[in-house]
Structure 1
Amino acid sequence: MKKLAIFDFDGTLFDSICDVVLCYNRTLEMYGFPTLTRDEYIPCLGGNIDEITSLVLGDNASPENIEKVKETYLGFYNSSPKNLTVPFPDASQILYKLQEKGILLAINSNRLTYSLEELVEKNFKDIDFIGIEGHNDSYPSKPDPYGVNNLVKKAGVSLDEAVYIGDSITDILTAKNAGIDCVLVTWGYGLEKDMQNDYPIKVIDDFFELIDLFD
Structure 2
Amino acid sequence: MKKLAIFDFDGTIFNSITDVIICFNKALSTNDFPTLTYDEYVEILGGNIDELVSSCLKDNNTPQNMELVKNTYNTIYGKSNKENSLPFDGMHDVLLKLQEKGILLTINSNRNNDSIRTFVDKYYSDIDFQAIEGHNPVYPSKPSPFGINKILNQLNVSKKEALYIGDSSTDIKTTQNAEVDCIIVKWGYGNQNDYGNEYVLNVIEKPYDILNYF
Is 1:25 paired with 2:31? no
The one-letter code sitting in structure 2 at the alignment partner of 1:41 is: Y
Name which of structure 1's ranges 165-174 and 151-160 shifts more when overlaid on structure 2: 151-160
**2-side partners of 1:190 and 1:74: how far apart?**
25
| Superposition pairs of residues 47-196 of structure 1, within 5 angstroms | 47-196=47-196
Counterpart residue number, 1:213: 213
**2-side partners of 1:68 and 1:99: how far apart?**
42
Report the TM-score when normalising by structure 2.
0.99
The one-letter code sitting in structure 2 at the alignment partner of 1:145 is: P
Show CA shifts across 1:13-40 (max 9, x none): 1110000011011111111111111111
Counterpart residue number, 1:9: 9
For structure 2, the 5+ residue unaligned runs are none
**2-side partners of 1:4 and 1:106: how far apart?**
8
The one-letter code sitting in structure 2 at the alignment partner of 1:186 is: K
**2-side partners of 1:40 and 1:159: how far apart?**
34
Percent identity over the alignment? 53
Tell me the CA shift for residue 97 of structure 1. Answer: 0.2
**2-side partners of 1:182 and 1:212: how far apart?**
13
Question: Aligned-pair RMSD on alpha carbons?
Answer: 0.7
Tell me the CA shift for residue 71 of structure 1. Answer: 1.0
**2-side partners of 1:64 and 1:195: how far apart?**
37
The one-letter code sitting in structure 1 at the alignment partner of 2:200 is: P
**2-side partners of 1:106 and 1:78: how far apart?**
24
For structure 1, the 5+ residue unaligned runs are none
**2-side partners of 1:67 and 1:192: how far apart?**
33
Report the TM-score when normalising by structure 1.
0.98
Counterpart residue number, 1:34: 34
Number of corresponding residues: 214
